[in-house]
């Protein structure tokens, strides 16, 4: 019975995706399509894609099923529209996007879809990065630094966190200008009665207030440091690759 229900769900997914593809094609149709949709480009849709991504975050925090479903369908719509616009140029179709995604999922998770076994999350992350690099090399691209593939259009704070999560700091040669200040911050952070997350949030908020007082753009300031960090990591990676 459960197997029959799963088959019905799969058939329903196929039907709904096919209908969505047809709906988008009709919206973009030169004859009878929507005037607004027909004039959209990849550049004009950037803002809407970004808006939809951020609108998904709210329901994730509140764990509101109805709101989450609504925002996810809006985000999926953007993916289908962009894929259709690419197909109009003869680049690729939504089916090709889905096929590549399925291939990636299987290739990057050999501990689930293959015979490899891992004991830690760190091992899983390392094989994911390794296999991602192999995919790039298989398409004739040069080896990447650990930070490649992360969009510099990402908000500065999220990008900085992604950079550090990808490669850490110990092997990058990166140094803090005020190590004693960082130590003091961390000491206060772990002992604060409000808890780690709230205490850290307060510190970040006060740093933004400091930027405002000195008429600095906090976002731009961190993006500048992100660019320096990316350049330094890429330089060290390229040097290591050449030596190898």
Same domain, 9 and 87: yes
Residues 79 and 36: their CA atoms lie apart, in Å, by: 17
Per-residue pLDDT for 145 more than 90?
no
Domain that holds residue 85: 2-91
160 and 87, same domain (yes or no): no
pLDDT tens column, 196-215: 888 889 989 999 999 999 99
Q: Is the pLDDT of residue 34 over 60?
A: yes
- Tell me what the mean pLDDT of segment 63-92 comes to: 95
Q: Which one of 64, 91, 118 terminates a domain?
A: 91
Residue 170 lies in a domain: yes
Band the pLDDT of 171: cuts 50, 70, 90.
Answer: low
Domain boundary among 63, 91, 119: 91
Kindly tell me if the per-residue pLDDT of 235 is higher than 90.
no
The residue among 57, 72, 91 that closes a domain is 91
Does residue 109 lie in a domain region? no
Q: CATH code at 48? A: 1.10.287.1080
Is pLDDT of 98 > 80? yes
The model's pLDDT over 37-56, given as tens digits with 9 standing for 90+, comes to 999 999 999 989 988 998 99
Smallest CA-to-CA distance from 73 within 59, 61, 86, 63 is with 59
Query: Model confidence at 1, in pLDDT bands (50, 70, 90)?
Result: very low
For residue 79, CA distances in Å to 13, 34, 48, 50 come to 16, 18, 11, 12
Nearest alpha carbon to residue 233 among 161, 170, 159, 151: 170
- Greater model confidence, 146 or 56: 56
pLDDT tens-digit readout, 149-165:
778 888 899 899 888 88
Tell whether 138 is covered by a domain: no
Cβ-contact 225, 160 below 8 angstroms: yes
Q: What is the pTM of this model?
A: 0.68
Inside any domain, residue 71: yes
CB 47 within 8 A of CB 106: no
| Residue 127 pLDDT class (50, 70, 90 cuts) | confident
CA atoms of 226 and 176, how far apart (whole Å): 13
> Is 13 part of a structural domain of the chain?
yes
Q: Is residue 108 part of a domain?
A: no
Q: What is the mean pLDDT of residues 78-100?
A: 97
Average pLDDT taken over every residue of the chain = 85
């Amino acid at each position: 019975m459960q197997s029959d229900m799963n088959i019905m769900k799969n058939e329903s997914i196929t039907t709904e995706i096919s209908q969505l593809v047809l709906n988008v094609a009709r919206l973009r149709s030169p004859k009878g399509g929507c005037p607004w949709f027909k004039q959209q480009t990849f550049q004009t849709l950037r803002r809407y894609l970004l808006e939809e991504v951020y609108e998904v975050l709210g329901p994730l925090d509140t764990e509101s099923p109805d709101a989450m479903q609504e925002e996810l369908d809006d985000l999926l719509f953007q993916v289908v529209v962009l894929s259709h616009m690419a197909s109009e140029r003869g680049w690729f179709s939504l089916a090709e996007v889905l096929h590549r995604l399925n291939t990636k999922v299987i290739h990057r998770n050999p501990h689930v879809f293959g015979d490899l076994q891992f004991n830690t999350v760190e091992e899983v992350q390392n094989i994911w990065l390794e296999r991602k690099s192999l995919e790039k090399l298989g398409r004739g691209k040069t080896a990447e630094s650990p930070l490649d593939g992360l969009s510099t259009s990402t908000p500065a704070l999220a990008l900085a966190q992604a950079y550090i999560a990808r490669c850490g700091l110990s092997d990058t040669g990166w140094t803090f200008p005020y190590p004693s200040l960082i130590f003091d911050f961390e000491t206060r952070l772990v002992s604060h009665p409000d808890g780690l997350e709230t205490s850290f949030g307060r510190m970040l908020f006060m740093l933004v207030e400091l930027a405002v007082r000195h008429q600095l753009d906090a976002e731009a300031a961190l993006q500048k440091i992100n660019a320096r960090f990316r350049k330094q990591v890429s330089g060290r990676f390229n040097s290591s690759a050449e030596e190898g």
